[in-house]
Structure 1
Amino acid sequence: MNDPLKALLDAGVLNISKFPENSRYHGVSITTLAQSNQEPIAYLKRRLVPSPERFAVIQEHTVVEGDRVDNLAAQYLGDPELYWRLCDANGVMRPDELTEITGDRVAITLPEGVPGESDG
């Protein structure tokens, strides 16, 4: 029996994510690895970290003693679980890198690909 919905899902035309919208993995496809004589293994396709140039800076935060990346995400982005957006926009892999040096500046940006005022 041909199932058109399953065909669309299998082809990746419809994007249904098992991750919430505030997750860095929202929209990342889940696929399976078929193995002979074994159960298939489900895995996430690779999430490519965007280049910081893809983000429009709207303001900067100067790090002070005691700052935490989750608190900065809550303050500037409205959700502490969006800390990964600050990491992506500032080109860091470890979240603690953003706040470990007092006086460093953290770029607060629009989401990836959303143009800012100076982007035309």
Structure 2
Amino acid sequence: MTDPLQAFLQTNGLASAPFAPGSRYHGLPTAEHTRPDGSVVAFVKRRFVPPPASFALIQEHEVVAGDRLDNLAAHYLGDPLLFWRLCDANGAMRPDELTAEPGRRLRITLPAGVPGLAGDGGDAG
């Protein structure tokens, strides 16, 4: 049975995005690869993360023992699934390292591309 909403969207040229607006992959293009056996594999094209200095700083958080990125994202960004924004803003390739050492200062920033106020620590202005 066809989903009536999806049928309406397709009929009217409105395709649903493959990723939710809060996803780190939202807005990225997708592509397909055809394997030698003829099967097709869809994938998301490469995501390039801007340098941490390009994110407008809101505030900093000093890590304490027991901090977790999902809890920090929920507290500062309103959604635990946005932990990846903390990773991007702090240049983390390994998310667990951000909270491994008490005393580390984490940058809490606006989303990429959202300008902050002059003197906020980001290049956006």
Task: Answer whether TM exceeds 0.5 for this pair.
Answer: yes
Sort the TM-score into its range (normalised by shorter chain): 0.7 to 0.9
The answer to whether the 8 Å contact 1:55/1:109 transfers is: yes
CA separation of 1:97/1:36 partners in 2, compared to 1, >3 Å: closer, same or farther? closer
C-alpha displacement at 1:108, in angstroms?
0.3
**Partner AA of 2:108 in structure 1:** I
Which shifted more, 76-85 or 25-34? Answer: 25-34
Specify every segment of 5 or more residues in structure 1 that has no aligned partner in the other structure, as ranges: 1-5
Label 1:41 to 1:102 Cα distance change in 2 as closer, same or farther (>3 A): same
The root-mean-square deviation of aligned C-alpha atoms, in Å, is: 2.1
2:70: which partner in 1? 70
Give the gaps of 5 or more residues in structure 2.
1-9, 119-123
Count residues in correspondence: 109
Q: Normalization by structure 2: what TM-score?
A: 0.78
Shift of 1:102: 0.2
Please give the alpha-carbon distance, in whole angstroms, between the structure 2 residues aligned to 1:89 and 1:15.
31
Match of 2:58, SS?
A: strand
* CA–CA distance in structure 1, aligned partners of residues 15 and 76 of structure 2: 28
Q: Map of 1:35-46 to 2, 5 A cutoff? A: 35=35, 38-46=38-46
Deviation, 1:35, is: 4.4
Which residue does the alignment assign to 2:59? 59
Indicate the SS of the match to 1:117: coil
**Residue 102 of structure 1 aligns to which amino acid in structure 2?**
P
Aligned: 1:48 with 2:58: no
**Equivalent residue number for residue 18 of structure 2:** 18
The percent of aligned pairs where both chains have the same amino acid is 57
Spell out the pairing of 1:91-106 with structure 2 (5 A cutoff).
91-106=91-106
Using the TM superposition, give the Cα deviation of residue 34 of structure 1 relative to its aligned residue in structure 2, in angstroms.
3.2
CA offset at residue 36 of structure 1? 5.5
